[in-house]
Chains A and B, each alone.
Chain A
Amino acid sequence: MTSEAKKDAPLGRVIVITSGKGGVGKTTSSAAISAGLAKQGFKTVVIDFDVGLRNLDMIMGCERRVVFDFINVIQGDAKLKQALIKDKRLETLFILPTSQTRDKDALTKEGVEQILNELKAEFDYIVCDSPAGIERGAQMAMYYADEAVVVTNPEVSSVRDSDRVLGLLSSQTKRAETDGAEPIKAQVLLTRYDQARVDSGEMMTVEDVLEILAVPLLGVIPESKAILKASNVGTPVVLDEPSAASRAYEDAISRLTGTQVEMRIQGERRPGLFQRLFGRAT
């Protein structure tokens, strides 16, 4: 649908996937979002900013193809082209893995900026997978962002950390520091959402979360076995067989590209059961 747009100058949008709290689904979402954007025909690269705790390459299923990494490029030991890994499933998708042996001090503002500028000249979307926390790695991942996807679980500590990160996005980034620049467009992606637990009062509702965070909702990803399964085999969930989670990600990705998609919150259970019955019958 965007094959014509592809021939134009690249969009060069930098999107940071961040959260503050760990374990909420940043890397899974980075993999899904970058793969989903690439699937729509956008030339996309996903960068792992979690120096020292490299994971994205495994979720993307390219861990055995890493030769040079992000840090090698920053330090001038390798060219960007040498470090970019082309995805085997989608020709518009690239991965820039990080180093497992260095630490976050290896990230410099200048180095990151230079690489992002090079990537902007060639890619439509540059997806930055932020590490947890609000220290250097996370700061570097968000600093040059144009947009932010704040991954949040429907529970209080995750929401509070997301709120903190939203504060940093509006104060400690290039766009925030540049006079007259449009602020970073931040949206919240609610993950691991379990309708049954919301109904029983164990989890916060979408409305509760949005009331606190006061930013637009990008999507609601249901808690799903499909995600764990996809991660284990190194496939972004949107490239795996269809599931409630992959559909929710597809919707979120469409919204990210500016398409209006009606918000539907799907539980795994009902469609899953229906599909199973349907699957058996055929």
Chain B
Amino acid sequence: MPSARTAPFQVRGRFLTVLALRIDSDVADDAFHAQLGEQLGRTPQFFSGAPMVLDLAQAPGLQDPDRIRDLVERLRKRDLRVFGVQNAPGLDAGLLGDLGLIPVSTGRDAPIAREPAPAPVAAAPALPRPAENKVIRSPVRSGQMVVADQGDLTVIGSVASGAELIAAGNIHVYGTLRGRAMAGCHGNENAHIFCQSLDAELIAIAGLYQTSETLDGAARDRCTHIYLENEKLRMEVIA
């Protein structure tokens, strides 16, 4: 069990493949599903077959066996691979087993291994671990993936459609961002994305994402600063 529990979350930086659905309503009625369907319909290929965890912190009422059973069935019908549940202490293990769900106790709110433990020699606890920033001096091409696992990522050049940037910290692009950029991949909500011209397929900070279809029209093709505020992605045109 433990290995199955952590494996889906340890795919470093590829948190896109594990989505968390935080439910804020105690009742998952038809209106809820209609609204969800609408949201999924906007980017169907993104959600199709995506592994998903249910976060019930705001919806203790859904711990009712019948309600959770109904919810999981309906989500799975939408081709969402619900495999885990979070913040639901009231659900008993037998029921979870029946539904094929795993209780997941970690999540974005409790990021796993933000920094690996410092080397025993440098045991001085106050000493901050130097960030391992990465600077790429050439364009990032379609199909390429650049990961800065422990720091910021700076690209001097454009990021092509179909390319992917992943960073634990901030992402800076001195060029046009046409691909995907995911900052704060270990859950850092204070991560920012900066780009000289925004035309991204997808941007995400700490797992909260927007696709090109939902990008702020005002920021398109502009020099933009993207950050999180009240769990929402904000885009600010800065030049």
A residues near B (Cβ < 8 Å) are: 160-161, 163-164, 166-168, 170-171, 211-212, 214
Closest to A156 in B: B161
Is B162 an interface residue, CB under 8 A from the partner?
A: yes
- CB contact between A167 and one of B144, B158, B161, B178 (< 8 Å): that residue: B144
Chain A at the B interface: mostly helix, strand, loop or mixed?
Answer: helix
Closest to B197 in A: A211
Nearest-Cβ distance from residue A164 to partner chain B, whole angstroms: 4
CB <8 Å contact, B162 and A160: yes
Residues of chain B lying within 8 A (CB to CB) of residue A164: 141-143, 162
Residues of chain A lying within 8 A (CB to CB) of residue B176: 211
CB <8 Å contact, A160 and B138: no
Q: A160-B142, A214-B158 are in contact. List 6 more A-B contacts (CB 8 A).
A: A160-B161, A168-B143, A170-B141, A211-B158, A211-B176, A214-B157
Which residues of chain B (110-168) have a CB below 8 Å from chain A?
138-139, 141-144, 157-158, 160-163
Interface string of B19-48 (1 = CB under 8 A from A): 000000000000000000000000000000
CB <8 Å contact, B142 and A163: yes
CB <8 Å contact, B162 and A214: no
CB <8 Å contact, A163 and B160: yes
Q: Whole-angstrom distance between the alpha carbons of A167 and B26 in the complex?
A: 49
Residues of chain B lying within 8 A (CB to CB) of residue A160: 142, 160-162
- CB contact between B162 and one of A163, A171, A211 (< 8 Å): that residue: A163
Closest to B140 in A: A167
> How many residues from B make CB contacts under 8 Å with A?
14
Residues of chain A lying within 8 A (CB to CB) of residue B142: 160-161, 163-164, 167
Q: Whole-angstrom distance between the alpha carbons of A167 and B144 in the complex?
A: 7
Q: Whole-angstrom distance between the alpha carbons of A212 and B141 in the complex?
A: 9
Q: Whole-angstrom distance between the alpha carbons of A98 and B160 in the complex?
A: 34
Nearest-Cβ distance from residue A18 to partner chain B, whole angstroms: 14
Contact flag A212-B160 (CB < 8 Å), given A164-B143, A167-B143, A167-B144: yes
Q: Whole-angstrom distance between the alpha carbons of A150 and B206 in the complex?
A: 37
Closest to B175 in A: A214
Q: Would you give 28 A-B contacts (Cβ < 8 Å), ordered by A?
A: A160-B142, A160-B160, A160-B161, A160-B162, A161-B142, A163-B141, A163-B142, A163-B160, A163-B161, A164-B141, A164-B142, A164-B143, A164-B162, A166-B141, A167-B141, A167-B142, A167-B143, A167-B144, A167-B163, A170-B138, A170-B141, A171-B144, A211-B158, A211-B176, A212-B160, A214-B139, A214-B157, A214-B158
Closest to B143 in A: A164
Q: Whole-angstrom distance between the alpha carbons of A266 and B27 in the complex?
A: 66
Q: Whole-angstrom distance between the alpha carbons of A123 and B230 in the complex?
A: 66
Residues of chain A lying within 8 A (CB to CB) of residue B143: 164, 167-168
Q: Whole-angstrom distance between the alpha carbons of A228 and B200 in the complex?
A: 38
CB <8 Å contact, B144 and A212: no
Q: Whole-angstrom distance between the alpha carbons of A249 and B161 in the complex?
A: 30
Residues of chain B lying within 8 A (CB to CB) of residue A211: 158, 176
Interface string of B177-201 (1 = CB under 8 A from A): 0100000000000000000000000
Closest to B161 in A: A160
Nearest-Cβ distance from residue B4 to partner chain A, whole angstroms: 34
Residues of chain B lying within 8 A (CB to CB) of residue A168: 143
Nearest-Cβ distance from residue B146 to partner chain A, whole angstroms: 11
Nearest-Cβ distance from residue B179 to partner chain A, whole angstroms: 10
Q: Whole-angstrom distance between the alpha carbons of A40 and B161 in the complex?
A: 39
Closest to B144 in A: A167
Q: Whole-angstrom distance between the alpha carbons of A222 and B138 in the complex?
A: 30
